[in-house]
A and B are shown apart, each in its own frame.
Chain A
Amino acid sequence: MNDLIAYQQEAASVWEELNSNDMPLITVGNATCGRSAGSIDVVEAIQAETAEIGIDCNVIEVGCIGLCYLEPIVSIQKQGQPMVVFGNVTLKQVKKLVADYLVNDQIPPKLVIGTIGEEKIGDVPKLFELPVLKPQVRRALKRCGFIDPTSLEHYLANSGYSGLTRAFDVGPERIVEEVKLAGLRGRGGAGFPAWRKWTFCREAESDQKYLICNADEGDPGAFMNRSLIEGDPHALIEGMIITGYALGASVGYIYCRAEYPLALERLRLAIQQAEENGLLGVNILGSSFDFKIKIKEGAGAFVCGEETALIQSIEGERGMPTPRPPFPAVSGLWGKPTIINNVESLACVGLIMQNGAEWFAEYGTEKSKGTKTIALVGKVVNSGLVEVPMGISLRELIFDIGGGVPDGKKFKAVQTGGPSGGCVPEELLDIPVDYDSLNEVGTIMGSGGVVVMDESTCMVDFARYFLDFAEKESCGKCVPCRLGTKQMLTILEDIVEGRGKPEDIDLLEELGEAVMAGSLCGLGQTAPNPVLTTLRYFRDEYEAHIYEGKCPAKQCKEFITYHILDSCIGCGLCLRNCSSNAIIGEPKKLHWIEQELCHKCGVCYEVCPPKFFSVEIRTGELKEEPA
């Protein structure tokens, strides 16, 4: 224990020095989102550029601060100045940024996003005052994007492992009690109270217990857990050690998909650092508690995020869910009591032990406490990773933080909870984001994926898309899920392709309810959500497809036609681009589309210059009577 305290002090001074040094500190967002925007090259370019000019500076690579749409993000702190954050710093911009700001103290207005610190620089806004960040409360993600995730010292200097030392001081019962007082509900999907699950496991008699961290994150478009691990891996390790201690488990597994190579690399290093510093292994910090963490790489099947399938997968079997009971808390991995918690849930355990239950429960609603990380994606201006207090409204989330819908389009619906979540229409945007309110309107919190849709989204096609995912990811074990999702998918395909039948709407509802009620695991039990909620809130779109031969969003090819309007000046752009030779017309004369030849690729609509705006999409024309 004393060693750790000494190390914490040492780390604090390293951190202090880094931040108050006369050498400028440059941080570059280098998580997966940054890397896909080219941050690795940016780091190298900054190092090369500063070396060339002869400026001594500290360049560190940090995780994601959540503003993924602005990556690569570079922040520069010069002595006596607040930190200035720049966005979209591509390779080409590096020279300019270094020359302008580092050398000449001129802030390039096109790149700057905001400042961090007490003082202001000119009219540059403070980063956390920006509309995208102001409503956010960054707790689980507090260190992400600010510390070097490969540095144990950085973690220690920012209250790291203080939760663990406190946990050893107060003992397992008190930990469970605090987690209960904090009201922590599982962040992985079901929102089950963590303490209650733990209690089943604690009460189970066994010589061996296991803790598993679920880092499978199989929802398409979700990246909350990945960002957390990439930006702050020790937060997860600390949460796991505390939880393992509370449960009496001596082995922890992290089940992380192999498609997350950077997260896995960060975890491996963090585990090694923790082992080297007596935070993992035998007699941790003199507490006589032994704990080790193993990593199991998953092959990227959505169903392997389901608890029992995940356990099968770790055991080397095909990842297929097994019936519960027995619940894993009583009989799980290798038949031993096992607790499975999500990455964020475990990071929250660390936070609760660091700051106390009351602090944690400061935010949230009566039954959903704390904050929640959310991957905000789709038709929204500011897509990225956000952390909000539970209970914030969907409207604030989408329009304040997300900045609303881009390109002047109208908002249509939002899907919460990943592929098996339901969608919520505009009228319900004022409901709070918490487990129970979302359930009431037919959707789920899930692990925190939020997909925004605008008026150009066809809701039937949206439902088809997610059913297609569920059908393909179903493990195939139980009849309602394997065959019911396929049947629903075929019907939806028929509807969007013009073969819908009047009785299909009732049939979809009947099948959807049967799949939910009859399936063995959560995948089947929630898979029909996108269909059932669109039937609930956008039934008219289904009816338009089936009865009127129309796709109101003008998306489904079967129901649309392209037309050239009188405003056409005969520039010939569309004609040259049409691969079906369906456009006819002489230069400088009105063109027209031969409907029989048109394949509805939409290229004419794309290329017609906005000033003419001569191509129109119509629906419900040239359509025979529905079969």
Chain B
Amino acid sequence: MTKEYNLTIDGQKIIAQEGTSILDAALENDIFIPHLCHHPDLKPEGACRLCGVEIDGGRMVMSCLSTVGEGIDVKTDSSEIRQARTIAMELLIADHHMDCLACAAANDCALLDISAYLGIQPDRLERLRPSDKGLPIDESNPFFQFDPNKCVVCGICVRTCNEIVGLGALGFINRGFKTVIGTFGNKPFTESICESCGECVVRCPVGALAPKTPKFAAREVQTTCVYCGVGCGIYLGVAGDKIVNVRADRERPTNEGSLCVKGRYGFNFINHPDRLTKPLIKKDGEFVEAEWDEALELIASKFVQSKGDKFAALASAKCTNEENYLIQKFTRAVMETNTVDHCARL
């Protein structure tokens, strides 16, 4: 069994498992420590330098890199800590393309959250020289865009693609102030090995990597992705009678918050005008819309004539396991053949 430690953070008594970072322990207990480059799914990086805390009155350490220990006393704020965080944040804001009103991340932006937490003051910001990078936005990907002028170079996207997706489509390019995130050779996303899964997009703490259609959902419906047999847990965002976005279910053991490109972005077909909503029957060489009863009767009458080797069934990966079971059972028991397969490659 993992050991548990008792510690205090800002006077609050906390129990945390061995190996937990102080930052995670604090966040789990509703104590906010500013952070930009930390993500619970990824290895700690220690790059943004915002999550500094004091342990037992000692030197400032990064809470994402320090793990809990028995009896330690953690302070998440002090004048020294505040000064370090304030300057780091001021530098980030002076470097950031602050077009918050038009930004896809405006309601979910770590930079704005931390500024509010620290109480960033405009007159102090005015002392700094704002940077005007004017870098081109990569809009090549159909589902998301990348705006390097908003990127805080936290590296979360890089680590996501390495650690979670296992693909390594992204990396750091250039050095110093010119450091940017990019694909191999800094090519557009669509010319790289990127699979458009969007894992990086959902983890980007700001609006640098942002979905192209940030539609706000009125409510969410928990369900299972219909694309393949993995059965990833998702939440469908619904506005009116339409599905407007998809979000992965972090609690579902099958996918633990991850999705592939189809599950995340492939929902346009639902409301697509070309989608079939009624059965079609070919009459005189032309498809003609029909009612379900007519269609099913026609199928049943043809099936009766097609038992044995004439018949083959190909099941869909979009069906559930139960549906797939029924198809093979039907094929063998009713249609009297073993010729049954499954695409499982969608």
Contact = CB atoms under 8 A, between A and B. Distances in A.
Nearest to A471: B176
Given A476-B153, A479-B47, A486 B84 contact: no
Interface of A: 301, 303, 318, 320, 323, 471-480, 482-487, 490-491, 494, 503, 507, 510-511, 514, 517-520
A514 B84 contact: yes
B109 interface: no
B62 A301 contact: no
Given A479-B48, A480-B87, A485 B176 contact: yes
B155 A477 contact: yes
B65 A519 contact: no
A479 B88 contact: yes
Interface of B, secondary structure class, is loop
Interface of B: 36, 44-50, 52, 60, 62, 65, 83-84, 87-88, 91-92, 94-95, 127-129, 131, 152-153, 155, 171-172, 174-179
A520 to B, nearest CB: 6
Given A474-B176, A474-B179, A518-B52, 20 more contacts: A301-B175, A475-B175, A475-B176, A475-B179, A476-B153, A477-B172, A479-B49, A479-B92, A480-B91, A482-B153, A483-B92, A486-B131, A486-B177, A487-B94, A490-B129, A507-B127, A510-B87, A518-B49, A518-B87, A520-B47
B124 to A, nearest CB: 9
Contact of B175 (A476, A491, A510): A476
A520 B174 contact: no
Given A511-B87, A517-B84, A518-B87, A486 B92 contact: no
A494 B83 CA distance: 25
A527 to B, nearest CB: 11
Contacts, number: 101
A539 B91 CA distance: 24
A381 to B, nearest CB: 35
A480 B171 contact: no
A519 B175 CA distance: 16
Q: Tell which of B91, B128, B171 has the most Cβ of chain A within 10 Å.
A: B91
B50 A479 contact: yes
A483 B91 contact: yes
Contacts of A517: 60, 84
B293 to A, nearest CB: 64
A528 to B, nearest CB: 12
B40 to A, nearest CB: 18
12 contacts: A318-B171, A472-B175, A476-B178, A477-B45, A477-B172, A477-B179, A478-B48, A478-B49, A483-B91, A485-B177, A503-B127, A517-B84
Nearest to B36: A479
B287 to A, nearest CB: 56
B84 A323 contact: no
A503 B129 CA distance: 13
Q: Tell which of B52, B60, B65, B174 has the most Cβ of chain A within 10 Å.
A: B65
A482 B153 CA distance: 10
A473 B50 contact: no
Nearest to A484: B91
Nearest to B50: A479
B172 A479 contact: no
Given A486-B131, A514-B83, A476 B91 contact: no
A511 B86 CA distance: 11
A487 B83 contact: no
A322 to B, nearest CB: 8
